Structure 1
Amino acid sequence: MAESPSTDADSRTDARDAQDTSDSSWWYWVAAIPIYYVVGTALGFVVGVASFAFALTGMGTMDPGPGMGIPIGWGLGFASVFVVVAVLAAAGILLSLLFPLAIYLDADAVAATGGEWEPDAVLYGLIGLVGVFAQPVQVPVGVYYLYRRHQATGVP
């Protein structure tokens, strides 16, 4: 009776099933940083193009009528840009401050499972903390951490 050969993919899946005992949900917050940068960049581009078109074409400079004061388009245009920028800035500050804690707690939980990859939670936390002051550091650290986490646990 011949045994069916075990494939490398089957053994990796079995190893991941055995190792994925971490109940940590902190990786969602780690993943939020790269997602925020993509969404923030896209929204910033759209708002910038819209503002440029608004200023170039004078779309908001229609006179609302005699005695009405400032043209209504200027107020709505600048207010909408301000609101988008304020919301993006507040979300970015919150995520940036939460990132070191999230990556530390998740790395600690993954290391506690005793799997094939045991991330140094303190190192990741310190690198995340450096990223609070040097923003571009958080994106590649977060992507790398999630990539390694996926290889070791299958999640995310």
Structure 2
Amino acid sequence: MAIDGSGPRRPGTAAAEFDAYLREFRAGGYPVARVVHVACARCGGSEFGVRVDDEAGYVDRTCHLCGDRWVMLDALDVAEDADPGDAACLCGGERFDVAVGFALREDGEVRWVSVALRCTADGVIGVYADWKIDYSPSGHLMARV
């Protein structure tokens, strides 16, 4: 997991900071073509508790407003074998803004995903999970954040 000391949370700047951070991170070494910012489909909330198993390629998130839990991207495919743990910032914070960076192949299919979290307590951004997508079609993943 890469950590960047982006400073305290500043409302309205999270999206721009995520975009810049994920583009610099370069998912799997590839340029990030698209960044998707996560919002709860049920209530529109933007702060989440997140569980991650980076080795398995598993991430789920739980909305702090309504409690809705969502398994992200293609993580349902590995859920049975995953052993996720709660994501936590170095400051101890466990509430995050979430965004996903997508590196694409020449044909527009997803090549690599990177899940970035921004701690709502201290504003630090880090990539907590990233993995290669080696199947097609894969464009549907951009809607499964």
Q: TM-score, normalised by structure 1?
A: 0.25
Bigger Cα Rg: 1
More helix by share: 1
Q: TM-score, normalised by structure 2?
A: 0.26
More strand by share: 2
